[in-house]
Amino acid sequence: MSSHGGRISADISDGAHQANCLTASGTCVPGNAHFFFLPPMVKAPTTTGTFNPSLAPSVTICQLAGSVCFANTSFSPGAAQVDVAGRQYKVNWNTDAATVLVGQTYRIIVSTSGVELGFADVMPVTNGSQLKNIDTGEFIGLVDGRTLPIRFRIEQGATCVGRTDCLEQIVGPNPDLRLNVQTPPTLLAAVSFPPGYLTQAVTLTIAPVSEGCFAGSNPPPPFAAFGCYSFTTSPRVDNPLNCAAQPGEGPGTADDNARCARVEVCPTLAPGDANYHDLRLYKSDPGIPAVQLAEAPAMLLDACAPWVPPGGGFGLGKRRVIDLALKQWHGVVNAIGRLVMPQPLFGAAAMSHRGLGGLTCCFSNIGWALTAHLVGASVSPTTLNIGGLEGTATVSVSNETGAPASGLVVQGYVVQGVARRFAGSSLQSSEGPFTCASGTCTLPGFNFSANGAGTGTLVCGSASAEFDLIQGETALQTITIPITLGCH
């Protein structure tokens, strides 16, 4: 590996080459064991896996700056074509001197199903008819003095390398029968294709998304995910039966079930959780708003707790839960000096959803969300005296589902460095957990002070007012605003 003046050397990443080798320590990162670049870019590798011809990989080339791409330099040389007989994919890169700069390093990146499989770095040299392989130092001859054949092999399993509980499977076509796919061994996600949905063999990948389930949406919703999976097909299947299931509350129609794929995801909240029936299933695509899916029953989640309708015997009754919530708040008021960290115990009224599945035209991140979120908070005045002057906190909550979000509580804290002190709660003004029926709900003001118990010591100066939105026993969101602490 070349050192490039001591920086990280990231020259080829595939099943035959390790990349990102640190010159000082010699630590390298193995490439994808089921992806290989092929001659003329490299020497012929030894492969043992099964070639996967049912993909639509993309090739992107960019000018490299250190170990990342320069902004606005990425381009595609064209669509990669499958060569079944040669067990490879290939695309030609025309290294036109007008667009390729001698002495600059270019990175060739191969991706599919939302996964980067590997990359190779090359550098045009002065005679214009060759590229230099940065990893090996060898020169690659160009066809007609300017065209680089980019050839690579993708094997079955490539899209799941490095991902736990991931399923990759070649599926379709299914002209006459419904096709069901589960994710063994966990069986926590599944998909069902109606007859005629798949007109050719495609590679289906289903993998859990541990964080950022909805981050790609624009605008990104402030939802926390409670069970999320990525569903992709390569080649991409884009609404082949004209699925028109309406987003939002309610089940799909018989026509929707015949035209839409049914995705099933096991939520991380159990049926006994107070918020279980407030979960909603969302689809998140890059660059567009997240969409709530039309509801559908789940029939393939063998390892998931069966869906329980409202009133199915779990949890406490609504009056009982609210009584406990009020008791908790009165205990805070009466024993504030002993309070270290208030623990919420607030219940949610059950809202009906009809199962653990949803109907979708196409694939992306699919995840469960509790959708109520904070959209505004203020404290007046913004200067609070430690142990003295109280302010008034005003908070607004948004609920965009069209179904009431119940069992909501906002708790406030004063935060300064490592210090975190209880400052107030919406329970003061609402006499219990509140419900946001729809749209934006502004709560009555509640007392907010720097007098509460907690951890650390508050001092005069800048601080933050923290507001936590809680539904049932689940923390949904935290926002902070600047305040000032004064001294008597």
- State the pLDDT at residue 300: 92
| One domain, residues 106 and 233 | no
Chain centre distance of CA 175? 32
- State the pLDDT at residue 19: 72
| One domain, residues 463 and 422 | yes
**271 pairs with which residues across the strands?**
none
Closest by CA position to 31, among listed 49, 43, 48, 13: 13
In the structure, what pLDDT confidence band is assigned to residue 251 with cuts at 50, 70 and 90? confident
Residue finishing a domain among 124, 141, 160: 160
In the structure, what pLDDT confidence band is assigned to residue 409 with cuts at 50, 70 and 90? very high
- Give the least confident one: 189-193, 297-301, 464-468: 297-301
Residue 315, pLDDT above cutoff 50: no
User: CB–CB of 119/110 below 8 Å?
Assistant: yes
Phi-psi region of 83 (alpha: psi -120 to 50; beta: other; left: phi over 0): beta
Asked whether residue 213 is domain-assigned, the answer is yes
Residue 308 or residue 301, greater confidence: 301
Closest by CA position to 138, among listed 260, 226, 37: 37
Residue finishing a domain among 128, 160, 192: 160
- State the pLDDT at residue 314: 39
- State the pLDDT at residue 145: 66
Closest by CA position to 206, among listed 178, 228, 229: 229
Closest by CA position to 264, among listed 368, 113, 173, 403: 368
| Residue 172, domain extent | 167-296
Which of helix, strand or coil describes residue 21? strand
Instruction: Give the 3-state secondary structure of 54-118.
Output: CCCCEEEEEEEECCEECCCCCECCCCCEEECCCCEEEEEEECCCCCCCCCCCEEEEEEECCEEEE
| One domain, residues 234 and 344 | no
Asked whether residue 307 is domain-assigned, the answer is no
Q: Which residues, at least 6 apart from 296, have a Cβ–Cβ distance to it below 8 Å?
A: 251, 252, 257, 262, 354, 355, 357, 358, 359
| One domain, residues 207 and 125 | no
| One domain, residues 18 and 151 | yes
Phi-psi region of 277 (alpha: psi -120 to 50; beta: other; left: phi over 0): alpha
Q: Name the one residue in this structure whose structure tokens are 């409202």.
A: 310
pLDDT digits (tens, 9 = 90+) for 68-122: 899 899 999 999 999 999 999 999 998 876 678 888 889 999 999 989 999 998 8
pLDDT digits (tens, 9 = 90+) for 419-434: 999 999 999 887 789 9
- State the pLDDT at residue 4: 33
| One domain, residues 331 and 463 | yes
In the structure, what pLDDT confidence band is assigned to residue 45 with cuts at 50, 70 and 90? very high
Q: For a pLDDT cut of 90, what percent of the chain falls above it?
A: 51
Structural domains of the chain, count? 3
- State the pLDDT at residue 144: 62
Closest by CA position to 246, among listed 293, 203, 290, 201: 293
| One domain, residues 376 and 432 | yes
Average pLDDT over all residues of the chain: 82
d(CA 247, CA 169): 28
Reported as half-sphere exposure (CB side, CA atoms, 13 A), residue 73 has a value of 18
| One domain, residues 325 and 471 | yes
Asked whether residue 23 is domain-assigned, the answer is yes
- State the pLDDT at residue 307: 77
C-beta neighbour count of 488 within 10 angstroms? 8
Chain centre distance of CA 9? 29
| One domain, residues 171 and 147 | no
CATH code of the domain containing 380: 2.60.40.10
CA distances from 83 to 102, 158, 200, 205, 303 (A): 31, 18, 17, 22, 40
Asked whether residue 285 is domain-assigned, the answer is yes
pLDDT digits (tens, 9 = 90+) for 204-235: 999 999 999 999 999 888 888 999 999 999 99
Which of helix, strand or coil describes residue 278? helix
| One domain, residues 345 and 382 | yes
Q: What is the mean pLDDT of residues 345-365?
A: 62
| One domain, residues 151 and 180 | no
Phi, psi at 337, each rounded to 5°? -70, -20
- State the pLDDT at residue 341: 27
d(CA 368, CA 382): 37
Asked whether residue 366 is domain-assigned, the answer is no
Q: What is the mean pLDDT of residues 156-173?
A: 94
Asked whether residue 407 is domain-assigned, the answer is yes
